[in-house]
Chain A
Amino acid sequence: MRVIVDFDLCESNAICMQIAPDVFEVRDDDFLYVLEENPGEDRRAVVEQAVQRCPKQAISLED
């Protein structure tokens, strides 16, 4: 599973960071950084929740 962020859409609401802090981080420069582009299968449910709850729908998953 690969995490893809559309940075044209991302507005750094940081909800993804709160849901999956091992995968997403919004730093003090207010930009989102993807810490783990290929999270393990055990993280799928959590990352899917980040996809769902991103207010900009900027995150997608590729198998």
Chain B
Amino acid sequence: MVRSAVTIVGASLAGYWAAETLRRDGFEGRISLIGDEPHAPYDRPPLSKKYLAGDLDDDRLALTTAEKLADLQLDLRLGCSATGLDVAGRTLEVGGAAEPFDGLVIATGTRCRTLPGTAGLAGVHTLRTRDDAAAIRDALADGARRLMVVGAGFIGAEVASTAIGRGVEVTMVEALEAPFGRVLGVEMGAVMADVHRHHGVDLRTGVGVEEVLGDGCVAGVRLSDGATLDVDLLIVGIGVVPNTEWLEGSGLTLDNGVVCDGTCLAAPGVVAAGDVARWPNPRYGELMRVEHWDNAVQQGVHAARRLLQSDEEATPFAPVPWFWSDQYDRKVQLAGRPHPDDEVRVVAGSTAEHRFAAFYGRDGRFTAALGMNRPRQVMQSKGLLEAGSSWDEALAFAAEWD
């Protein structure tokens, strides 16, 4: 498919790699990269870790150097939002003005859910952007002493771990009985809970936030079990929503993301990638939307190539998802797609020592591998998942490990 120009909306990981891939593959047309943040493309994982701890400066956060970015010869428009799309009319609305597009990559990502009733209250934060992270970092530096994380998810857990490292008192509240249970299941969720308690986090499960207290600035939180805690910094980590409002009426199918076909194509000449894209992964036979770093890189690459391919040349996007999370001195990695009800078996190391690998399976199928400080085993397991190994084959492989 010959195209003269490609417009990429969203200048984070998926958008950046789409642009980089087009150039690397020899595309010589104009590439517009439009991002609503004022910053050049940067990496988000350090925001809840080293950047938050103050151990990484803005330059080191950049996805690439200024020199390499210039080499890509992009029409880079930062601090600029796309506000509408007309697929049939082949126009994009940017900053209130309509402009034609040839090929389009949608990579607008997600934004954090907020806690009702906290708008305008100082000391209440979500964490998604560099500016979010800088605000939390500054609050910690300014002497915040009592931090509460609402929602025991991975970002919240990383913030908790960074704050504990700075000597801050941390309470984490989770509405479900098992922290991380929705992703890891009850048994491994309990192991994660143990890690946090071991490091001094006051983890409270099965409780929700009833009311956030404070006049202008957060002062405390009343929980659903009646407890009231003093809090001077509140981090809300209760999930994200895909940024698709600007696409309403565009002609695209929107349903918890931009719905694509198996090749990441959302409409002729329009692809989607990263956190905002929902596509049928043929490996799993279901529509999925993945919010992981590696998926954004890979899907950005795949979607960019799709844009220049004919329907006959196009290939399905069929990754085994994986992510990592660094908490305290532990590296947690998960490869695959576990169901919370899957059978779980520890296949190497020990959960008590917080260094282990565990397999998830159901109906004779091997569905996922979780590791804590076991990167070698998790990545070997990811290979088994990609090869479609059965539960018995995976267990036989792991039997050679310890």
Contact = CB atoms under 8 A, between A and B. Distances in A.
A1 to B, nearest CB: 15
A28 B17 contact: no
A28 B376 contact: yes
A26 B324 contact: no
A52 B379 contact: no
B337 to A, nearest CB: 17
Interface string A18-38: 100000001110100000000
A35 B143 CA distance: 47
A17 interface: yes
A41 B108 CA distance: 36
Contacts of B383: 18
Contacts of B262: none
Query: Does more than half of chain B's interface fall in helix, strand or loop, or is it mixed?
Result: helix
B379 A15 contact: yes
Interface in B296-326: 297-298, 301, 322, 324, 326
A12 B380 contact: no
Interface string B359-391: 000000000000001011011101100000000
Contacts of B27: none
B378 A14 contact: yes
Contacts of B17: 52
B202 interface: no
Interface string B47-60: 00000000000000
B376 A27 contact: yes
Which of B322, B376, B380, B382 gathers most chain A CB within 10 Å? B376
B376 A15 contact: no
B375 A30 contact: yes
A52 B43 contact: no
Contacts of B291: none
Contacts of B340: none
Chain B interface size, as a band, is 20 to 34
A60 B243 CA distance: 33
Interface residues of A, number: 15
Contacts of B376: 14, 17, 26-28, 30
Nearest to B355: A30
A18 B382 contact: yes
Contacts of B378: 14
A47 to B, nearest CB: 14
Nearest to B383: A18
Given A11-B331, A17-B376, A26-B376, A55 B324 contact: yes
Contact of B379 (A11, A14, A28, A57): A14
A52 B299 CA distance: 12
A13 B43 contact: no
B327 interface: no
B293 interface: yes
Given A13-B333, A18-B383, A55 B375 contact: no
B17 to A, nearest CB: 7
A43 interface: no
A17 B379 CA distance: 8
Interface string B8-46: 000000000100000000000000000000000001010
A55 B379 contact: no
B294 interface: yes
A57 B45 CA distance: 12
Interface in A45-63: 52-53, 55, 57
Interface of B: 17, 43, 45, 63, 293-294, 297-298, 301, 322, 324, 326, 331, 333, 373, 375-376, 378-380, 382-383
12 contacts: A11-B326, A11-B331, A13-B324, A13-B331, A18-B380, A18-B383, A26-B376, A26-B379, A30-B376, A52-B297, A55-B293, A57-B43
